[in-house]
Amino acid sequence: MSIGTQFSDSSNETNVYPPHVMSYGQPSSSTDEEYGMSHYSPSRQMPYQIPYQMEEGFGVNTWVNFEYPIHVEAQAGVPSSINPIEPHRNSFWVYNVLLQAMELANARSALKRKRDDAIEPFDNGTAATATTDASSVDLSLLEAVEKSQTTVEVLDLKTLKRLVLAFERRLRDNIEARLKYPDQPDKFADSEIELHEEIQRLKTLAGGPELYPDLVNLNVIPSILGLLSHDNSDIAVDVVGLLQDLTDEDVLEDNDEPARVLVDALIENNVLELLVQNLTRLSEFDPDEMAAVYATLATLENLIEVKPAVAEMVCERTKLMRWLLGKIKVREFDSNKQYASEILAILLQNSAANQRRLGQMNGVDVVLQAVAMYKSRDPKTADEEEMVENLFDCLCCLLMPLENKERFVRAEGVELMIIIMKQKKLAYGSAIRALDFAMTKYPPACERFVDVLGLKTAFAAFMGKASAQSPFHFSMICV
């Protein structure tokens, strides 16, 4: 619908319709006048325009143009000119529709004037803020939401005690529900959901590592670690995530003393045994449990970072090394395999006991099998490349004890390293480094190297015929 200025004819004051309206329905001849509408087409469509007194502000000479066509049935006896103000009986519904539409237009214009009146005049060059009732409601709701989201709880001793108390209460409720309804999971499902939520709330403690001594004094560590053996693996996964957050390197960076207090308390309550025990029951086919495996390895790394002695303790008390060996034997690459190779390298560094222990577990042969996968191909990603470097780090650490050198020669490790050198792939330089460790102060390895024509391959490296990716490895050839 559009609003326009009314057409008028000064010679005829009664002509209040636009020309194209007045021309509609005019008989073309006296014959048409005589026969009325009988010679008109059966039906016509026209842009219907009528004069109408609008609300104040639009003026008297105003007409309303309904731009969509209105269907008018032409019948005998209908007047030759159409007057919308006095409609014929067969088109009365058209008049009602137009009248209601114009009333709606007047109502909208009145609402617009009310909104305009609500805007206060300028005061000293600054417009006053004015909003309708609806916008005021919206603003109040928005402010309420913002206040609820910006509420920050202060992490202090009082908050710590409240979190611990709520956790202990939910834990007790879950234990009681499981004992009362051992064969009806639906009876204790709600209590485990509440327990899950409380464990998630405990993660906020990572924001206040200075409270770790108070956390230990509240004697809640045994309750937390006990959930690593919970029948519901999801609860155990939650606890692993909590331990990872509490021992995160970034959190403990400037809090050495609180970190040591927490780590000592965790070790005293058998965190190493419980973590590895839970690790063996996690399935890496489940995405959540696969993430929990990664979080477990991260937690162990964090513990070693705070207390290096944990590297030997975890190998003495648990079967972590065996699990790590099983993981690196898998042909398919994933993030957990990469992390397992890194943890294994950390355990072997600066620990002769772990080096000998892994050698006794056939670790030399397992690591050789793992690196053999890359004798004729390069890693596909940067993470896979890092894993290959970790595997060679493990091999070099293993070759430090004399007994492991013997195992290396017996497992045909010298021959494998020469093959890798000949292929000139990414592991080329790492193979040279492994031979250096194997032949240092161990004549049998040197003799095997000469017997299998290793000098030919070594001289090619000295002559510059080898790949230039790792030139600093060339000086490691020792015979």
CA distance 251 to 184: 41
CA distance 190 to 110: 57
- For residues 73 and 88, the answer to whether their CB atoms sit within 8 Å is no
Which parts of the chain register pLDDT below 50? 1-90, 119-132, 134-137, 465-472, 474, 477-479
CA distance 375 to 408: 17
Residue 358: CA atoms inside 13 Å, Cβ hemisphere, count? 35
For residue 75, the model assigns a pLDDT of 41
Reduce the secondary structure of the chain to three states and give it as a string.
CEEEECCCECCECCCCCCHHHHCCCCCCCHHHHHHCCCCCCCEEEEEEEEECCCCCCCCCCEEEEEEEEEEEECCCCCCCCCCCCCCCHHHHHHHHHHHHHHHHHHHHHHHHHHHHHHCCCCECCECCCCCCHHHHHHHHHHHHHHHHHCCCCCCCHHHHHHHHHHHHHHHHHHHHHHHHCCCCHHHHHHHHHHHHHHHHHHHHHHHCHHHHHHHHHCCCHHHHHHHHHCCCHHHHHHHHHHHHHHCCHHHHCCCHHHHHHHHHHHHHCCHHHHHHHHHHHCCCCCHHHHHHHHHHHHHHHHHHHHCCCHHHHHHHHCCHHHHHHHHHCCCCCCHHHHHHHHHHHHHHCCCHHHHHHHHHCCHHHHHHHHHHCCCCCCCCCHHHHHHHHHHHHHHHHHCCCHHHHHHHHHCCHHHHHHHHHHHCCCCHHHHHHHHHHHHCCCHHHHHHHHHCCHHHHHHHHHCCCCCCCCHHHHHHCCC
What percentage of the chain has pLDDT greater than the value 90? 55
CA distance 2 to 19: 17
Enter the pTM of the model: 0.67
Q: Give residue limits of the domains in the chain.
A: 2-114, 154-269+280-304
pLDDT, one tens digit per residue, over 120-155 is 444 444 444 444 454 444 566 666 656 655 555 678
For residue 284, the model assigns a pLDDT of 84
Tokens of 324: 């790590």
pLDDT, one tens digit per residue, over 312-331 is 999 999 999 999 999 999 99
Residue 45 has φ and ψ, to the nearest 5°, of: -125, 140
- For residues 166 and 198, the answer to whether their CB atoms sit within 8 Å is yes
Residue 450: CA atoms inside 13 Å, Cβ hemisphere, count? 7
Tokens of 130: 């004015």
- For residues 37 and 80, the answer to whether their CB atoms sit within 8 Å is yes
Residue 65 has φ and ψ, to the nearest 5°, of: -110, 115
For residue 238, the model assigns a pLDDT of 96
- Give strand pairing partners of 4: 63
